Amino acid sequence: MNIVDWFIDRFRLKSAHRGIFERDIPEGINYFYCFGGIAFTSFLLCFVSGLFLSLYYVPSEKEAYLSIQRIHEDVNLGKLIRGIHKWSANFLIVSIMIHSFRVFITKSYRPPRELNWIVGVFIFVVVMLEGFTGYLLPWDQKSYWATVVGTNIAGSIPFIGQTLLLIIRGGYDVTGITLIRFYSLHVLWFPLIVVILLWAHFHMIKKLGVSKPL
Ligand code: HEM
């Protein structure tokens, strides 16, 4: 037994791999059924590149923009990692849309998968919020004003709008407090929520299997 086989055997990697990845796939599925997996791959890329960016990004009013410049110009592979983060985020949103469209067209939201559709809707909302909070982080004119407009929309919700606006911005205006709030949501709260929701999503897919094409 060579060292690789020994490791695979002792770590019980084959049964773990079988448990996680091997499942019955119904006959007649096509490439559109790959978009859930593509969304997951994009999420992983986003997650890992984000971990590297967080080593250099500084979430403060004075430093945020400068730290992004530093990532671009001084940090080894910084520009590449930032590009991967941005593009995988875009891919994630597009692939989630195509995936939801596939699920809708094949009527896979019907019982017994209706709860997984609901979980999917929550994933979609949190991923969009993840994108929105990330957009402010470069702290340039475009991100600042996009956040002013976006949060104003939340502020226009009847009855709760103004309170919501104060909570989101951490005051009446978009300031350094908003930046810290968005940073925390972007790197901690939302990723954690997405991971929990994805666990529920995959758990149900594993138990129910992928739906048979119509
Ligand atoms: C990051 C986001 C998401 C990931 C990584 C993901 C991943 C997956 C994967 C890998 C599958 C297995 C079949 C396939 O790939 O098509 C699946 C199935 C499913 N997904 Fe998602 N998904 C996401 C978002 C969503 C959203 C937004 C919805 C709906 C609004 C949704 C609803 C469903 C349903 C109902 C199934 C079962 C479909 C069937 O059995 O044919 N998912 N998902």
Question: Is the minimum distance from the CB of 47 to ligand 1 under 6 angstroms?
Answer: no
**169-179 confidence digits (pLDDT tens):** 999 999 999 99
Which residue has better confidence, 71 or 1? 71
CATH class of 31-208: mainly alpha
Q: How confident is the model at residue 23 (pLDDT cuts 50, 70, 90)?
A: confident
The pLDDT value given to residue 96:
98
User: Which band of pLDDT confidence, cut at 50, 70 and 90, is reported for residue 19?
Assistant: confident
CA-nearest residue, atom 15 of ligand 1: 36
pTM: 0.92
CA-closest residue to ligand 1 atom 17: 36
Does residue 187 come out as left (phi exceeding 0), alpha (psi in the -120 to 50 range) or beta?
alpha
Please state the rounded mean pLDDT for residues 120-139.
Answer: 98
State how far the Cα of 200 lies from the Cα of 209, in Å rounded to an integer: 14
Mutate to test the pocket of ligand 1, among 99, 123, 129 (most ligand atoms within 8 A of CB): 99
Predicted confidence at residue 80, as pLDDT, reads 98
Mean of the per-residue pLDDT values of the chain = 96
Would you list the domain boundaries of the chain? 31-208
As given in the structure block, the two tokens for residue 187 are 């790197």
Compute the distance between CA of residue 94 and CA of residue 25 in angstroms, rounded to an integer.
Answer: 24
- pLDDT of 20 above 80: no
Tell me how far apart the alpha carbons of residues 148 and 115 are, in angstroms, rounded to a whole number.
Answer: 35
**The pLDDT of residue 25:** 86
